[in-house]
Amino acid sequence: MAREKVTIPYLFQKKARGEKITMLTCYDYPTALLEEKAGVDIILVGDSLAMTVLGYDSTLPATMDVMVVHAQAVRRGAPGAFLIGDMPYMSYQVSKEEAIRNAGRFMAEAGCDAVKLEGGRNVAEVVEALTRATIPVMGHLGLTPQSIAQLGGFKAQGRDVETALRVVEDAKILEQAGAFAILLEAVPPEVGRIVTERASIPIIGIGAGPHCDGQLLIVHDMLGFFEAFTPKFVKKYADLNGVILKAFREYMDDVAAGRFPAPEHCYTMKPGEAARLESLVREGEKR
């Protein structure tokens, strides 16, 4: 039986009841089917797909066209999850008009329920404009991967009072601008707690400690399916790399040794047809 659609009021109810919200990234249909079956609350089609799926060394090369195609595939597999399209680099920074047009594509073309964008006070006007245009926005503070050039790499944020206070203030600014939720990435648990306690919107953490209203992990990280690097905050729940590599090697060994394909992998001819075929071919060869 299909589950009830996850909505913004439901996410607020979970926060109010102190029930943790679960969130995972997803980029494809088969994984979406499984996340839906598991009952994950929020699915993020993250621009991290530029790294985890497309092999780039940052998220910057993700484009709107690519993001929309992946979001469509995920929506087909997960009709009940709250689906968020991640606004890629330069899809919302140039102007509010362009931000609305691009965010609108996630909603209209991929059936997303909301979009996510990175930044605090610097994007408050964009958050306001999108919200006014009926597009729910999740903010993203702390480590914001689209700013790695400014941050000097994928580094934890808010580890001293000045930068931590800026995160706390930015969270308030985003909430006032109309964000329905905020993702907090790679900050100490103290910062996660202070932001969460003071927010009336759900705060989802990825490397922001246990006090947030919910948790996000990148699906390739938690499944052990991405080897380039593993952030400190990742817990690996599976070793897909190991499982898949073993399967590839066994397949190659089987082919080399003639064990694959076995009779059960072969089609059979209709009764009597094999012998008839042999004799017809032989007769033809004699002529």
183 phi/psi in degrees, rounded to 5: -95, 130
Residues that bind ligand KIV (CB under 6 A): 25, 44, 46-48, 59, 86, 145, 183, 185, 206, 216, 218
| Catalytic residue (choose from 118, 125, 185, 227) | 185
Q: Which residue has the tokens 């404009």?
A: 129
CB of 183 to ligand KIV, least distance (A): 6
Distances (CA, A) of 28 to 31, 157, 184: 6, 30, 24
214-217/203-206 β-pairing: parallel
- Give CA–CA dist 64/31, Å, rounded: 21
Q: Which residue has the tokens 């997960």?
A: 78
Cβ-based nearer residue to ligand KIV, 228 or 279: 228
Nearer to ligand KIV, 48 or 91 (CB): 48
Cβ proximity to ligand KIV, 199 vs 216, nearer residue: 216
Task: Please report, for residues 85, 191, 203, 211, the alpha-carbon distance to residue 159 in angstroms, rounded to integers and kept in the order given.
Answer: 29, 9, 19, 17
Tell me how far, at minimum, the Cβ of 275 lies from ligand KIV, in Å.
60
The residue of the chain with the least Cβ separation from ligand KIV equals: 46
Q: How many CA atoms lie within 13 A of 40 on its CB side?
A: 25
Shortest Cβ 82–ligand KIV spacing (Å): 15
Report strand pairing: 21-25 vs 137-142. unpaired
Q: Residue 62 Cβ, how far from ligand KIV at the closest point, in Å? A: 8
Is 185 marked active-site? yes
What 3-state class would DSSP assign to 25?
strand
| Active site residues per annotation | 185
